[in-house]
Amino acid sequence: MGCLSCTWTFVKIFLLCAIITFLPGLPPHAEFKEYSVVRPKALDAELLLRRHLDKAERIFDGQITGPEAFAVYNGAVYTGIDGGFVVQIDEGEIKPVVKFGENCEDITEEHICGRPLGLKFDAAGNLYVADAYYGIFKYNIQKAEKTLLVGVDEEIEGKKSKFINDLAVAKDGTVYFTVTTTTFPLFDALYALLSPGDGRVVKYDPRSKKATVLAEGLLLPNGIALSKNEDFLVFSETAAARVMRLDLKGNNKGTVSILAEGLPGLPDNIRFDGQDGFFVALVASADESHPALPVTLAPFPNIRKFLARVLYLLEMPFIQIHKLYPNYFTRRAIHSIGHFSVTQPLLGDHVTILHLDSKGDITDALVGRDGSVSHISDMIVSGDYILLGSPYNNYIGRVPRPNAPHHVTIKNVRFESAEEVDESAARKAAEEAQAVRAREEQARKAAEAASKAKKAAEEAANRKAAEEAARLKKEAESAAQKAAQEAKAKLAAEEAKKRAAEEAQARKLAEEARAKKAAEEARAKKAAEEARAKKIAEESAKKAAEEARLKNAAEDAAKKAAKEAKAKKAAEESAKRAAEEAKAKKLAQEAQFAKETKARKAAGEL
């Protein structure tokens, strides 16, 4: 019973997930493609011992939020923070410099106040800023003049730059910048993380004031940096855990190739080291045993589509409520659900900065594992320190720069000749070199011992796991057999119940069919009777109409006969009058004739 109930629950969950995944038209509207990347590999044991980022100092703790990237000019450090400001850090103070967005209430209106990310200075001291919500700006610090070079609403080869991330400025003023996605803004960038593949690298020409696409179809491009001779640039593909190379000159101009892949984490900002290499900050660490989420989900587009749609279904009620009743809580929910910041708990506390040479080989690393600083997105050398930035932290991390001069207090001084100084320096260098070799040997032995211990522990764990697996397998088989028997009995009962229900349903359907047939026959009989009555009524009406017509005809004939009789009578009367008149006339004529005869007779007698 319980097994079938669990199965039915699983089936319902599966159907719900399938509906969410494959229902047409459900946002977010993005293309979820399968892509293949090399899984992250762990750092060498020797590099893992470079724990230079442990015991990091937190400066401006609680006074600054989200220092994502850095730039230095005339000894002062500049960074962009939450709220839309670019600030200057100099002599222990934070000073606002410029803001490209509008005034806003808080971080939930980030799209209004703006979010400056990448920053670079040119040789003339102009500050170039990539604001994720507004575009690429050039700012003259001396004159406090800002110029918009490329806006996020400007269409470049048919698409808008919804999320501009980082930039690099060439000596001639050409700006190269990354567009992380052309589909989603920063506050919905988590959707882009689940559907990468529409990122770009774009070139802005200050002479023609036009932007052209150099590379597209990229997997969340992020940090970008130019080489020493500006003959190529490198940029990070965060979702693929790799750094790419784009040639700007030579026979391979326009070619995009992989510089380094399978990195032990997700790369963020990239910084040229001033020679022939690059520093790459990993915002999240990963290895073969603990791969990063975008790399793990790369071959599974439908899972990523399902997760994106679930996020949207979580966000949609808050969007609708906010349209009817705008308030802080719904605004906060809408901002948080799709924002990169919700991934912070998945990033871990391990921090790593890699050094790559021009061939893409990892030549050095700075590692931190004590949690004193986390989620590093950028680093910069400032004096004797390295400053560490992150979009998630409310402080700036700081560690001493490797090989930086130590600050000591001099208690006494004596004069030494040049030879003595050289000998002393040589002895000191030899002692330091010997100490370094001793530490390296100690680290190697410790790594070998740790490897052996790990191997032994794994073997013991494997043996124990095998025994436990055998026991669990036996218990599972027994439970499965019992569950199968119970399921069989339950299935038989359910089948009997199902058959009874089917028979009852069949009887019900037969009764309904008989009732339906009787009703149809009654309706047919009634219709036939109504038709006969109608026919009789029509015939009666027809007969009455014929009789009325004959009656009318008889009446018309009678009227005509009466009229003719009247006319005949009038004619007869007229003839009678004429006869009488003729008779009277004749009588008159006869009387006249008699009179005249009489008169002639009388005249004759005379």
pLDDT in tens, 544-595: 888 888 888 878 888 888 888 888 888 888 888 888 887 888 888 877 888 8
pLDDT digits (tens, 9 = 90+) for 302-328: 999 999 889 889 989 999 998 999 898
User: In the predicted model, what is the mean pLDDT of the chain?
Assistant: 84
Residue 294 has pLDDT above 80, yes or no: yes
State how far the Cα of 435 lies from the Cα of 118, in Å rounded to an integer: 41
* Helix H or strand E segment including 517: helix 418-605
pLDDT digits (tens, 9 = 90+) for 90-136: 878 999 999 999 998 888 899 999 999 999 999 999 999 999 999 99
State how far the Cα of 40 lies from the Cα of 240, in Å rounded to an integer: 9
- Please choose, from the candidates 298, 296, 264, 295, the residue with its C-alpha nearest in 3D space to the C-alpha of residue 280: 264
Residue 236 has pLDDT above 90, yes or no: yes
State how far the Cα of 107 lies from the Cα of 82, in Å rounded to an integer: 7
Where do runs of H (alpha helix) occur along 184-327? 189-194, 293-296, 301-324
Quickly state the pLDDT bin for 438 (edges 50, 70, 90).
Answer: low
State how far the Cα of 567 lies from the Cα of 549, in Å rounded to an integer: 27
pLDDT digits (tens, 9 = 90+) for 358-416: 999 999 999 999 999 999 999 999 989 999 999 999 999 999 988 754 333 323 333 33
| Mode of pairing for the β-strands spanning 351-356 and 278-285 | antiparallel
Alpha carbons within 13 A on the beta-carbon side of 118:
32
Residue with the larger pLDDT of the pair 223 and 336 = 223
Find tokens 């080489």 and name the residue.
227
Quickly state the pLDDT bin for 417 (edges 50, 70, 90).
Answer: very low
- What strand order describes the sheet that includes 278-285? 265-272, 278-285, 351-356, 362-368
pLDDT digits (tens, 9 = 90+) for 198-222: 999 999 999 999 999 999 999 999 9
